[in-house]
Amino acid sequence: MNRTFFFDAAWLPEGWRPRVRVVVRDGMITEVRHGSEAAADDARLTRVVPGLPNLHSHAFQRAMAGLAERRGPSGADDFWSWREVMYRFLERIEPDDLETIATYAYADMLEAGFTSVGEFHYLHRSPQGGLYQDPAELALRHAAAADTTGIGLTLLPVFYESSQFGGAPPTAGQRRFITDGAEFARIVARVRAAVPASGARNCGIAPHSLRAVTAAQLASLLREHPRGPVHIHAAEQVKEVEDCLAFTGLRPVEWLLAHAGLDERWCIVHATHLTDAEITGLARSGAVAGLCPITEANLGDGVFPAPAFCDAQGRWGIGTDSHIRLDAAGELRQLEYSQRLVHRRRNVLARRDQASSGTSLFEAALRGGAQALALPVGAIAAGCRADFLELDGAHPDLTARGPELTLDTWLFAVGRSLIRQVIAGGETVVEHGRHRHRERIDADYRRVIGRLLHAD
Ligand code: NGQ
Ligand code: ZN
């Protein structure tokens, strides 16, 4: 489909420019010109920025957002007790349920400012523990949800084999995640065939964590999949760092740097607990740190050492992980605010050559997100997918402010409700802040969630 757009002002790779005209063919930008005149049939938008890539999602967890905010019997609630609640929640999710939940999550993501997503997908088996007739049944439900909503998708099938360092057998709660090497290869091959790579689709692999995958399996996965994104959870919890040290003599990121050949293919999800040497090593590797600030705050993970990592030119992007709250501006605000609270300073992540905190944060997250998803996204430029957010230029908080204050105002002052329209792959998927299929998506979701929560 071909469309032309005219933006009063747009944030291009070179900065804010007035009167920008954009030509889109088959969902991709073919031409960008600023200082132009509008043509009669251009779609007209006020202030426009690229949609943000979301590099880390477990879509099904959206349905349990808000259900684990109650004190447990011991009063010692932490990441691991949350994980038990999450394992119980996923017990009875069937394929249709998963598609409905993922569709709901992706529609919410689009409304929240994310136009592409990396789905770190580990629910492979049925509730009874068997593989489906199509071993990629559940993976492909995410592709269907992406088709329905219009979001760009990099699918990352997860390899999961053990419950602890040293290859300890999986627990009963983990039975739906487990595959052997051959089953995993079939899932990846099936996804690659059913969801061909394009400007809006890609497929990588995700060894779940150093807890869940042995060193030998990781080596063979990397041999068998020499190209495409590789995502892994690492160094999120202090206990995980201690267990890794006890078993291998190295910390998780230290181990990955020494043994996994980290480079631009990799996304290290969380990377919360790092030594100075790990910070420099990870930054130099070219891998992306997959930060999930709102989930990390919700789970009590810790605070990422962002100033040192940014000083070392480290690359990072944003994931929404558990989807406890979907909000692109809110993720970047949380990242900056956690730094302000720890360091008792302001504008901690604003660059030396870019005074605006909002602009510095948004620019880094666009670049890191696009790299981690390995999709042509994250910029209003020829060759990129046409993913645009219209921030309401007529909003009272924006009218008297020049474009260069738009990102600071969005991230820090107004938030998610400033997003009026979202264009994904050239199509208008969100208007007046609502997904175009919102009514049907909500109705389906209400039906599914009612059954999942009240089945017994
Ligand atoms: C996950 N989530 O895979 O959904 C994990 C929990 C684990 C986060 N780490 C399970 N935030 O790490 O074992
Ligand atoms: Zn995760």
- 412-433 pLDDT, tens digit per residue, is 999 999 999 999 999 999 999 9
> For ligand 1, what atom is nearest to the CA of residue 237?
9
CA of 400 to the centre of ligand 2 (A): 41
- Assess if residue 456 is contained within a domain: no
Of the pLDDT bands very low, low, confident and very high (cuts 50, 70, 90), residue 456 is: low
The answer to whether residues 149 and 32 belong to one domain is no
- Give the contacts of 268 (CB within 8 A, at least 6 positions apart): 232, 234, 235, 253, 256, 262, 282, 287, 288, 289, 290
Active-site entry in 108, 301, 321, 392: 321
Ligand nearest to the CA of 85: 1
The answer to whether residues 46 and 111 belong to one domain is no
Total structural domains within the chain: 2
Model confidence pLDDT, tens digit, residues 124-136: 999 999 999 999 9
- Assess if residue 446 is contained within a domain: no
- Assess if residue 448 is contained within a domain: no
Measure Cα distances from 90 to 61, 375, 447, 450 in Å: 8, 29, 17, 14
To test ligand 1's pocket by mutation, which of 57, 58, 121 has the most ligand atoms within 8 angstroms of CB?
Answer: 58
- Assess if residue 277 is contained within a domain: yes
Q: Is any ligand 1 atom within 6 A of the Cβ of residue 176?
A: no
The answer to whether residues 36 and 90 belong to one domain is no
Q: Is any ligand 1 atom within 6 A of the Cβ of residue 83?
A: yes
Give the DSSP per-residue string, 22-67.
EEEETTEEEEEESSPPPPTTPEEEEEEEEPEEEEEE-GGGGGGTTS
The first and second tokens of residue 328, run together, are: 């692109």
The answer to whether residues 405 and 362 belong to one domain is no
Residue 14 belongs to domain spanning: 3-50+380-439
CA of 171 to the centre of ligand 1 (A): 14
CA of 421 to the centre of ligand 2 (A): 29
> Across residues 91-116, what is the average pLDDT?
98
The answer to whether residues 84 and 43 belong to one domain is no
Q: How many helices (H) and strands (E) does the chain have?
A: 15, 17
**3-state DSSP assignment of residue 240:** helix
Average pLDDT, the chain: 97
Predicted confidence at residue 278, as pLDDT, reads 98
How many CB atoms within 10 Å of residue 171? 12
- Assess if residue 119 is contained within a domain: yes
Ligand nearest to the CA of 294: 1
Output the residue whose Cα is nearest ligand 1's atom 5.
83
The CATH number given to whatever domain includes residue 348 is 3.20.20.140
The CATH number given to whatever domain includes residue 400 is 2.30.40.10
**Rounded Cα–Cα distance for residues 62 and 327 (Å):** 13
The answer to whether residues 241 and 151 belong to one domain is yes
Of the pLDDT bands very low, low, confident and very high (cuts 50, 70, 90), residue 454 is: confident
- Assess if residue 402 is contained within a domain: yes
> For ligand 1, what atom is nearest to the CA of residue 321?
11
The answer to whether residues 25 and 164 belong to one domain is no
- Assess if residue 224 is contained within a domain: yes
Whether pTM exceeds 0.95:
yes
Q: Is any ligand 1 atom within 6 A of the Cβ of residue 321?
A: yes
Active site residue 270: yes
Model confidence pLDDT, tens digit, residues 330-368: 999 999 999 999 999 999 999 999 999 999 999 999 999
Structural domain ending residue among the three candidates 373, 393, 424: 373
Side by side, the strands of the sheet bearing 288-291 are 230-234, 266-270, 288-291, 315-318
CA of 350 to the centre of ligand 2 (A): 27
The answer to whether residues 163 and 250 belong to one domain is yes
The answer to whether residues 153 and 80 belong to one domain is yes
- Assess if residue 14 is contained within a domain: yes
Of the pLDDT bands very low, low, confident and very high (cuts 50, 70, 90), residue 53 is: very high
Structural domain ending residue among the three candidates 373, 396, 431: 373
The answer to whether residues 89 and 27 belong to one domain is no
- Say yes or no to pLDDT of 75 above 90: no
Structural domain ending residue among the three candidates 373, 400, 418: 373
**Rounded Cα–Cα distance for residues 1 and 91 (Å):** 41
Predicted confidence at residue 428, as pLDDT, reads 98
Model confidence pLDDT, tens digit, residues 205-249: 999 999 999 999 999 999 999 999 999 999 999 999 999 999 999
The answer to whether residues 135 and 254 belong to one domain is yes
The answer to whether residues 215 and 318 belong to one domain is yes
**Rounded Cα–Cα distance for residues 447 and 456 (Å):** 15
Output the residue whose Cα is nearest ligand 1's atom 13.
83
